[in-house]
Structure 1
Amino acid sequence: MTEPLAEDLIVIRGRGRVSALGLLPTLPADASPFSTHATSLPVAALPAGAEAAVTQLRRDVPAYRQLDRTVLLGLLAARQATAAAGWSPGSGDAPNRPLAVSMGSSRGATQRLEDFHAEFLAAGSVPAAASPFTTLGNVASWVAYDAGSTGGAALSHSSTCSSAFQALGNAMAWLRAGMATRFLAGGTEAPLTRFTLAQMRAIGIYSPHPATEWPCRPGAGRPSTFVLGEGAAVFALEKVSRQQLASEQSAEPVFVLESVGFGFEAIGSKTGLSPDGQHFQQAIGRALAQAKVTPAEVDAVVLHSPGTPAGDAAERAALRAVFGEPLPLLLSNKWLIGHTLGASAALSLDFALHVLATQHWPAPPFLTDIATAAARPIRRILVNAAGFGGNAASALVSVLEA
């Protein structure tokens, strides 16, 4: 038996996202959402509708015209989350309800940094805007500015591909400590640049499949099918008592962010990991322990699983070490949106909430161990993330029982 949840819960009041699937929470899968980059590599880029929203955002606010695409994607997702939560701009600025921001990104202002560097190589100088527009901290600070927050912290995190969960874990800690009462937290990444794609290709993990043939295939084995994508997901978090939730009597499902656990393995290769995924085992174990949840109480796992054979196998070995057999349902959204680096954990969490709300998800059109349907209701999902350097993070999210 597990202990009951604490009286104060960290509730996801709203969420927003932008990815190769667009701005909506639906998950169409009738045709591959991947496209071919100018480098001839398959990528998961924004579709036309979402691209138009990025363009409109640049036009509407003069101060945003110099911002990197990574920041703009974060702004779009944060606006959705704020609207879904019913938080009007500046609503968190009351002295007792400051709105804080915590954003993760692996690379930050990728395109602007490359542009400024190219200008430096050509001219030997850069404009004054080069530094403030390429620091990682500008991701969170612009989200805070757009949300009208003047009384809370603005924190940016980078821990490669688990960056978004570093941001959410930090937000949870602040909320539980009473250092904030409302948080916008998530991850954003726009890495579809020639230099970044060349880096991924140099590692030898990029998918050989064309864009039209579902090139990212988690759990499908060899060859490696890593595909880079862009996107963002942001969550409106609030510490709420069970009593307050009961009094609200909302017809909408209430999502609880129960815990975020972290793991690290000190290995020589900064792009490798142990065969049994020790960092995953640590992160999963700590997430379960914080939430006071047993492995048997987890219904499904949204995998990190980027389509690299070694990484996919290590994560599954870690899951077997924690859960035994049979494993919970294995889920993935990377075959739909690619690997979005520092935004990937946030987009995986958004996918988990979609599954909790609808109990449905599309089936991959290739052979894999990803589940296609559930035999019983899914009420609690574990979400995994990992990144270069040996770090991993796991989050537990559930739908509150009436």
Structure 2
Amino acid sequence: MTNSRTEAEAITVIRGRGRVSALGLALPPSGVAPSSPFTTHPTGVPVAALPAPAEAAVTELRRHPSYRQLDRTVLLALMAARQATAQAGWGNGEMVDSRVEGAGPSHHHSTPPLHPTTPPLHQSSPLAVSIGSSRGATGRLEEFHAGFLAEGSVPVAASPLTTLGNVASWVAYDAGQHGGAALSHSSTCSSAFQALGNARAWLKAGMATRFLAGGTEAPLTDFTLAQMRAIGIYSPLAAADWPCRPGAGRPSTFVLGEGAAVFSLEHLSAAQAAAETSPLLVLAGVGFGFEAIGSKTGLSPEGQHFQQAIREALAQANLTSADIDAVVLHSPGTPAGDAAERAALRAIFGPTLPPLLSNKWLVGHTLGASAALSLDFACHVLESQQWLPAPFTTDLASIVDKPIRRILVNAAGFGGNAASVVVSQQ
């Protein structure tokens, strides 16, 4: 193992990233925890919904004629992808509409950039897109179904607007993609890491040179919240009382949230990496695990799928457990899930675990977007070496005594699947 770019293998780097969540378009603040970002849903339960400024951005984005009918899940992905492409220097997210005479930025695109203005995106090499979402077009699907029950028919657009593939295809459209793959993934709450793993594999194989990959979810509907409550895991705490509490024990404090995070990925040769003058965020390994157990909502007490995913991610990164400086947990605040993940970590790291971190107490559990938002949080920690201490009793770390250079990020979901990512700064 080495940290030297001149001796390293080819690597997958994160050129840019974007996010939207209950924290808005920003990264978690530093210092003392602000007031709880959670709000009370009309059904009476706490949720991690977008704050007013981000909600206004969604409303403005929907003014685009092509985007008026899109599901909220897709719109959140567009917002995050625009930030990621801008940070990567790939363009400003303003779509290039070849249907407009004279070609150039679409003259009917009324959404203001969510980032500094740069030239429109013209890809010099194929751009591919891979986006994960557990449920896809949740809101629109429920609307169309309600209309069908009431009227016995649905609009022509019902099917194309609710297929899972429409998530990635609209991100590709908005990015001005011409050629290249547009892939949508659904593997419950590890969907974003499925998308990132696929992107990394395609880049390594030379099937693409640039990838937009991540996860998105807008599940705050009455029906979806009722499903989560029916499982018996929803938090009984009020929105103002930090209702999502990973690692706090009983009662269960699962809280549903909405959001998206997208990453601009490139694959660099050893020579290209060595020529870089700024620190690089490296997607060093993506591992997967599966537990064939009878319960499709539960998991084994030992977290076998976590163990499989972690070991595979470490092996891909050519690292051992001793090389990991911190872990961003999946830890949704359910006692059984939190305990199983920690049991899996002890099986790999031994009785003394690395510092444990989480962002779910700030953004809730965003299902198919959760892994992507966790990875974005891990990148923030690598760059800033800072994070907020949780304002409740938990096993989450508040400080560490050495620099954090490599972080393991976990995700898991219904059906017995798990995924882990190793991200490092070089």
TM-score range, shorter chain: over 0.9
Root mean square deviation of aligned Cα: 1.3
Hey, what's the Cα distance between the residues in 1 that align with 2:34 and 2:130? 35
Q: Is 1:51 paired with 2:55?
A: yes
Contact 1:385 1:392 in 2 (8 A): yes
1:254 Cα deviation (Å)?
1.2
2:102 — aligned with what? Answer: none
1:341-392 deviation per Cα after TM superposition (whole angstroms, max 9, x unaligned)? 0000000000000000110100111100000011100000000000000000
Contact preservation (8 Å) 1:2, 1:292: no
Q: Distance in 2 between matches of 1:135 and 1:62?
A: 20
Once the two structures are TM-superposed, the CA of residue 79 in structure 1 deviates from its matched residue by 0.1
Residue 399, structure 1, aligned to residue 399, structure 2: no
CA–CA distance in structure 1, aligned partners of residues 122 and 412 of structure 2: 32
Q: Which residue of 2 aligns with 1:159?
A: 187
Choose which of 385, 393, 414 in structure 2 pairs with 1:388. 414
Distance 1:2 1:274, change over 3 A: farther
Aligned to 2:14: 12
Query: What is residue 68 of structure 1 aligned with on the other side?
Result: 71
| Residue identity (%) | 77
Counting only pairs closer than 5 Å after superposition, residues 127-138 of structure 1 correspond to structure 2 as 127-138=155-166
Classify 1:390/1:92 alpha carbon distance in 2 versus 1 (closer, same or farther; 3 Å): farther
One-letter code aligned to 1:240: L
CA distance in 2: counterparts of 1:11 and 1:129, whole angstroms = 38
Alignment partner, residue 42 of structure 1: 46
1:365 alignment partner AA: P
Q: Distance in 1 between matches of 2:75 and 2:241?
A: 29
Cα distance change, pair 92–248 in 1 and its aligned pair in 2 (3 A): farther
The CA deviation at 1:92 is 5.9
Aligned letter for 2:187?
S
307, 322, 331: which one pairs with 2:357?
A: 331
For residue 310 of structure 1, the aligned residue among 336, 339, 344 is 336
How far off its partner does 1:227 sit?
0.1
Q: How does 1:208-223 map to 2 (within 5 A)?
A: 208-223=236-251
> SS in structure 1 opposite 2:160?
coil
Offset from partner CA, 1:97-124 (integer Å, 9 cap, x none)? 1000000000000000000000000000
Match of 1:225 among 238, 253, 256: 253
Contact kept? 2:90, 2:123, Cα under 8 Å: no
Matched residue type, 1:10: T
**1:359 — aligned with what?**
385
Do residues 84 (structure 1) and 87 (structure 2) align?
Answer: yes
2:266 maps to: 238
TM-score (norm 1): 0.96
- Structure 1 residues 3 and 27: CA distance shift in structure 2, 3 A: closer
Q: What is the CA–CA distance in structure 2 between the aligned matches of 1:92 and 1:153, rounded to whole Å?
A: 16
Contact residue 2 and residue 294 of structure 1 kept, 8 A: no
Aligned positions of 1:291-302 closer than 5 A = 291-302=317-328
Following the alignment from structure 2 to structure 1, what is the Cα–Cα distance between the partners of residues 13 and 131? Answer: 18
Please list every run of 5 or more consecutive structure 1 residues that lacks an aligned counterpart in the other structure.
Answer: none
Distance across 2 between alignment mates of 1:130 and 1:201? 28
Q: In the TM superposition, what whole-angstrom CA distance separates every residue of 1:9-68 from its partner, at most 9, and x where no partner exists?
A: 100000000000010124363100000000000000000111011011111x11000000
Tell me the residue number matched to 1:290: 316
Distance 1:7 1:272 in 2: 38
Contact 1:92 1:99 in 2 (8 A): no
Deviation at 1:6, TM superposition (A): 4.2
Q: Is the 8 A contact 1:168 1:185 kept in 2?
A: yes
2:283 to 257, 260, 263: 257
2:27 aligned residue = 25
Q: Which residue of 1 aligns with 2:228?
A: 200
**Contact conserved, 2:2 with 2:8, CA < 8 A, in 1?**
no
Which segments of 5 or more consecutive residues in structure 2 lack a partner in the other structure? 97-120
Query: Is the 2:329–2:358 Cα contact (8 Å) retained in structure 1?
Result: yes
Conservation of the 8 A alpha-carbon contact between 2:28 and 2:387: no
CA distance in 2, matches of 1:27, 1:12: 21
Deviation at residue 3 of structure 1 after TM alignment: 9.6
